[in-house]
Structure 1
Amino acid sequence: MALSKGQSKGRYRVTINDLSRELGLTKGTVSRALNGYDDISESTRTRVARAAERMGYRPLAQAQAIRTGMARALGLVLNAGPDNTHKPFLTDFLDGISRAASEEGWSLSIATALDEQDEVATIARLVAEHKVDGFILPRTRVSDPRIDLLRDLEVPFVLYGRTGDTGGCAWHDISGEDAMRDAVLRLHGLGHVRIGFVNGDSGFNYAPLRRDGYLAGLAEAGLPHDPDLVRSGAITPQQGMARGGELLDLPNPPTAIVCALDRAALGVYRAAEARGLRIGRDLSVIAYDGIPEAATATPPLTTFAVDTRAAGARLAKLLFARIRGADLNHLREVVPAHLIARGSDGPPPNTEPGPARNTGPTPPTQKGET
């Protein structure tokens, strides 16, 4: 076998020409198979991928960028604003994206922004500089200027979440609304009839969805909706403490509180402690996210957890599919969270513990820590 251009001393670099000769396929077919194009059959893509692995083929990123006009990079812009809500899930999330990108021979390009306006400007800059081929957009808003920009520029993107105007959007999301409904049903099954709700920032798309889930749970349990038992705007422990305190200071306070976010629930813990209430006995709390701090709270927090590593990997794969022109109708998916039952919820005070009433379908449950 003759040495190709670009070889290093004492080493031979396998090229597409080598794969083409080995497989008896044209260079164009091999190239499109390696890049996952839909016009190449699955059997051919698999055959080419196996040969590339066996022969040690590794594409030169710079040459590919020149030839295809693609950077072979996924983009992610993180808002590093003062609420720091990325932090609880960031490590696993990035790991999931990076591993999926590496499997395709792509990279992940991460940038940070100071606020929403800076996010949009940073995305526009990365597009103008041809640094990435598409974006993963976390923390989606009901009305999201990042989505408007990328739609206008016709740049591929995938949402981690949903949005108000779904035109031209692909997404992977977790059904937070179902988790909130199931939390209400679980608490009602334990005997609670006054169940409060502490929501997050109403500008983010998850907030109205989770509120709808809470209301659906009340309706399914046959409980009335009392607007006094609902608070919003809690995305930090400090805000959770304030909103939880408002509920606990009502003349007829709730015996249980469902929180849209674990971080807010940890604030409700503080509010309860300040009033001499014991979580899990005097006040039940169920939340959503499955952050590590939830497992170490006293008592450990019952929560609907999200596998952020799996979500990151799935988002990367959906973005690859979108970049390659897959039908948007096949790139929209919502999956369930799973319940981690811990010590923060139980029967209401002054009641005898007993078997829970069966008020609806039981969500997937995992006991203990994530």
Structure 2
Amino acid sequence: MSRQPTVYDVAEAAGVSRQTVSNVLNAPDIVKGATRERVEKAIAELGYRPHASARRLRTRKSSTLGVRLDPVLNGISGAVLDRFLHALTERADARGLRILLFTAADPLDEIAQFQRLLDGADVDAFVLTSTIYDDPRTEWLIAHEAPFVTFGRPWGIDDMLDPRHRWVDVDGRHGLAEATRTLLELGSTRIAYLGWPPSSGAGDERRRGWFQTMTSAVPGLSRDEIAALELVCEDDVGLASEAVRGLLASGTPVDGIVCASDTLALGALMVLGSSVPIVGYDNTPVSAAVGLSSVEQPLEEVAAAALDLLLGDEPGDVVLGEPASSLDPRHRLLRPRTVWR
């Protein structure tokens, strides 16, 4: 059959009425076992899928997940969110869900959007990105019993294991630790870190990976000498270049740099060229184009894990509450890998 099978095709193949097929789909308990098995066999053989719009009308659910479209601050690191959204949309579609993108000026404006979308029954749940310390968005969603999952752990909030706060994150500490360790194995000993100002949860974790590796693997360097190798600036190519120039002007020797982002790594590259190895973070198209090594986040796995945490067994079934068992935690911490160039 070249066209999509309909409920009438299923009824004919099973030798039952259209209403019986509808009952099997929507209220299987009222259908006799033998009849139900016959209909289910016809559904499987024909590859019939219930019409999504009809299901939404029947269940009064939108089968839609809301995701804020973050403003693109630059053309480098913004590509990460684009790749995540693409992966999330593809995987959501395979599970009978749609993605609704919306914009917001700040966290409070985003909360106002949550209220509007929930009041209008436009979405069933939310996928949050760019988590921050003491994130008011997650507190609001928990208080209003709205299902959600975050790409990013709950920084600074005492709900790391709260089953109502489901989260997926990438272990940036592990990523920068592995990158630093590899540079040490290749012969570098004075590896600088170029990162963001404190209070960025993800940035703090990435810094921790570099610092812990340097203090444990390079016993010849004092903590003060390691601290002198740390550079801090906002996520900007020009500011990153300026920070690296300042390090060189201070006379501090450096033979490698690991960075909190590809944006910062590009700024370092513009000053140092290929004189020392530089490792960025996010493996953006820019890093590939200029030949920068970079830590890559497994965004396909992040998207899959986010949906696994948020959805039930049935297509489009959003769940809320306790995990099925103690072996099914409501969070996933995934490991990145470094792409060496």
Compute the TM-score of the two structures, normalised by the length of structure 2: 0.78
Instruction: Tell me, yes or no, if structure 1 residue 213 matches structure 2 residue 209.
Output: yes
How far apart are the structure 1 equivalents of 2:41 and 2:285? 38
CA contact (8 A) 2:4 2:48 kept: no
Aligned partner letter, 1:296: A
Partner residue of 1:182?
A: 178
Compute the TM-score of the two structures, normalised by the length of structure 1: 0.73
> Match for 2:50 among 40, 58, 74?
58
**Count of equivalent residues:** 311
How far apart are the structure 1 equivalents of 2:259 and 2:277? 11
Q: Please, which moves more after superposition, 320-329 or 284-293?
A: 320-329
How far apart are the structure 2 equivalents of 1:26 and 1:11? 16
Determine helix, strand or coil for the equivalent of 2:244. helix
Q: Please, which moves more after superposition, 302-311 or 325-334?
A: 325-334
Partner residue of 2:60?
A: 69
Identity of aligned residues (%): 23
CA shift at 1:18, angstroms?
Answer: 4.9
Aligned partner letter, 1:150: L
Instruction: Tell me, yes or no, if structure 1 residue 330 matches structure 2 residue 329.
Output: yes
CA shift at 1:15, angstroms?
Answer: 7.5
> Match for 1:195 among 181, 186, 191?
191
Q: RMSD value over aligned CA atoms?
A: 3.5
Determine helix, strand or coil for the equivalent of 1:330. coil
Displacement over 6 Å in runs of 4+: 25-29
Q: Please, which moves more after superposition, 191-200 or 304-313?
A: 304-313
User: Residues 167-316 of structure 1: matches in 2 within 5 Å?
Assistant: 167=162, 168-200=164-196, 202-223=198-219, 224-225=222-223, 226-270=226-270, 272=271, 277-279=272-274, 281=275, 283-297=276-290, 300-316=291-307
Per-residue deviation, residues 24-74 of structure 1 (Å, max 9, x unmatched): x996774499xxxxxxxxxx9xx969936824333242x433432311001
Give the direction of change, closer, same or farther, for the CA distance of 1:114–1:81 in structure 2 (3 Å limit).
Answer: farther
User: Residues 9-48 of structure 1: matches in 2 within 5 Å?
Assistant: 13-14=6-7, 18=11, 30-31=25-26
How far apart are the structure 2 equivalents of 1:87 and 1:50? 47
Unaligned runs of 5+ in 1: 1-9, 34-43, 343-370
Q: Please, which moves more after superposition, 309-318 or 211-220?
A: 309-318
Give the direction of change, closer, same or farther, for the CA distance of 1:314–1:48 in structure 2 (3 Å limit).
Answer: farther
CA shift at 1:264, angstroms?
Answer: 1.1
> Match for 1:136 among 127, 132, 151?
127
How far apart are the structure 2 equivalents of 1:253 and 1:264? 19
How far apart are the structure 2 equivalents of 1:110 and 1:309? 19
Determine helix, strand or coil for the equivalent of 2:88. helix
Per-residue deviation, residues 237-262 of structure 1 (Å, max 9, x unmatched): 23322333333332214221110111
CA contact (8 A) 2:193 2:257 kept: yes
CA shift at 1:323, angstroms?
Answer: 2.2
Unaligned runs of 5+ in 2: 29-35
CA contact (8 A) 1:100 1:317 kept: no
CA shift at 1:302, angstroms?
Answer: 1.0
CA contact (8 A) 1:134 1:323 kept: yes
